[in-house]
Chain A
Amino acid sequence: MLGNFGYIGIFLISALGFAIFMVLIPPILRRSGIVPKKPNPTKSSTYECGMETVGKSWVQFNFRYYFFALLFVIFDIQVVFLYPWAVAFKQLKLFGLLEMLAFFLILVVGFIYAWRKGVLEWK
């Protein structure tokens, strides 16, 4: 099994190397003199699909995103507990079902709290 992860590691390293190579091609071509340096105001302006840019590039982040990220964290942890429970579901029989149900109900209370407090809306 460790050998299979070795193949995944080689895949990741070659993907990373490919991406870095693609990013490093323009500076290498510039430094080695193959591509001449001729800057131009139109060439060096920001590209936004052909349209003129409107407003600043740094806008204040909306804090409502944080609620969704928070709920995602909590239910991601729930999923992490669900995965091995699902793998060994047959051996865990009724007792396993009841304890996972108890876990679920406790977190559903939290979800209902978030729902009732209007956290999931976007005013």
Chain B
Amino acid sequence: MAIALEHFLILSAILFSIGLYGVLAKRNAVAILMSIELMLNAVNIALVAFWRYVAPTLLTGQVFVIFIMVVAAAEVAVGLAIIIAIYRSRETVDAEQIDLMKW
């Protein structure tokens, strides 16, 4: 059975919905960030599959994926810095307890 575009897209959709469940259902802030990374990886798979099957001679799809990886790395760096700063002042990273801003 040859692997067609739909197989990769369904794999990407499953991975994205697993990441979606993780973002909504986890309490640890680092676990929420890891689920966001899962969602970004799912989008990368979908983009590369589209590049391969729809426009293989034009490398724009791969350039888009490289930029998504750059943005994901920058976002993880700053997001984890925020989590570490919150942990320093509140001693917890539970997302259900960090729900009030300072007034």
Contact = CB atoms under 8 A, between A and B. Distances in A.
B84 A66 contact: yes
Contacts of A74: 73-74, 77
Size class of the contact patch on chain B: 10 to 19
* Chain B interface SS verdict (over half): helix
B98 interface: no
Nearest to A70: B77
Nearest to A67: B81
Interface string A79-99: 011000000000000000000
B95 interface: no
B84 A80 contact: no
A81 B70 CA distance: 10
Interface string B79-97: 0110010000000000000
B73 A70 contact: no
Contacts of B77: 70, 73-74
Interface of A: 63, 66, 70, 73-74, 76-77, 80-81
Interface of B: 66, 69-70, 73-74, 76-77, 80-81, 84
Sort A-B residue pairs by CB-CB distance and give the 7 closest, nearest first.
A77-B70, A70-B77, A73-B73, A73-B77, A77-B73, A66-B84, A63-B84
